[in-house]
């Protein structure tokens, strides 16, 4: 990462609405930590693919995982990828269609994907993913089998080339439009975590642990 007001590279420099850009480590990390769902862009046989998956951060690296059978993941080791995370915070309602927008927090990271090949390291990273989401859950689960480990690919890359873009606040209309009798404002949006729902095949007496009630996102 680099100075807050300077992009770490030209290819992640925010050019459109550059005043909304942030490049500091704290802002980028905070958005990654707030939203586990990401989209990763790959080039496979000359064709772009974008797939959703879960991401998690360990220090200055971002990790994600998927099926070992995935063609995109199989071909992505030591190749350039682009990972994005977006949090939708609101619909911005302006006095003209042109100035309608959304409030959001977004991060884009570019870099070289690196496959975690050591089974023990892979297990540690997957444990970190689970524990960051649901503290205390990993030790409650049965052990991961060698077959499950083989079926799972874990990739990572450094959070070196990263930019955040954030749009908060009210609509920005043309000055003369503020005189129009048209409602404008923001419809706030947030992800809501509801109480856990029991699997009907739970054994009698098995209750939802605390980490299912305390989970938060966004």
**pLDDT of the chain, 218 residues: tens digit per residue:** 444 568 898 888 888 788 888 899 999 999 999 999 999 999 998 899 999 999 999 999 999 999 999 988 888 889 999 999 999 999 999 999 999 999 999 999 999 999 999 999 999 999 999 999 999 999 999 999 999 999 999 999 999 999 999 999 999 999 999 999 999 999 999 999 999 999 999 999 999 999 999 998 87
Q: Return the number of other C-beta atoms located less than 10 Å from residue 90's C-beta.
A: 19
What token pair was written down for 217?
Answer: 């996102």
Residue 23 contacts residue 43 (beta carbons within 8 Å):
no
> What is the pLDDT, as a whole number, of residue 2?
45
Domains identified in the chain and CATH numbers = 10-213 (2.30.110.10)
Residue 97 contacts residue 111 (beta carbons within 8 Å):
no
> What is the pLDDT, as a whole number, of residue 3?
45
* DSSP codes joined into one string, 181-214: ----EEEE----PPPP---TTSPTT----HHHHS
Cβ burial of 23 (10 Å; 0-12, 13-18, 19+) is buried
> What is the pLDDT, as a whole number, of residue 1?
44
CA separation for the pair 95, 42 (Å, rounded): 39
> What is the pLDDT, as a whole number, of residue 18?
84
Length of the chain: 218
Query: For residue 109, what are the β-bridge partners?
Result: 83, 162
pTM (global) more than 0.75: yes
């Amino acid at each position: 990462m680099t100075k807050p007001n300077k992009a770490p590279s030209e290819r992640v420099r925010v050019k459109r609405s550059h005043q909304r850009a942030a490049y500091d480590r704290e802002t980028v990390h905070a958005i990654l930590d707030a939203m586990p769902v990401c989209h990763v862009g790959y080039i496979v046989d000359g064709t772009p693919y974008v797939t959703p998956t879960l991401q998690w951060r360990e220090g200055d690296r971002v990790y994600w995982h998927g099926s070992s059978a995935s063609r995109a993941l199989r071909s992505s080791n030591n190749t350039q990828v682009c990972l994005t995370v977006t949090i939708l915070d609101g619909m911005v309602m302006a006095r003209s269609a042109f100035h309608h927008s959304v409030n959001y927090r977004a991060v884009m990271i570019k870099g070289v994907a690196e496959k975690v090949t050591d089974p023990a390291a892979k297990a540690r990273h997957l444990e970190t993913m689970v524990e960051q989401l649901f503290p205390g859950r990993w030790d409650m689960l049965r052990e991961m089998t060698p077959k499950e480990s083989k079926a799972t690919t874990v990739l990572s890359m450094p959070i070196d080339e990263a930019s955040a873009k954030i749009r908060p606040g009210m609509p920005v209309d043309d000055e003369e439009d503020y005189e129009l009798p048209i409602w404008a404002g923001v419809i706030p949006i947030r992800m809501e975590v509801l109480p856990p729902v029991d699997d009907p095949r739970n054994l009698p007496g098995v209750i939802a642990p605390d980490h299912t009630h305390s989970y938060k996102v966004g």
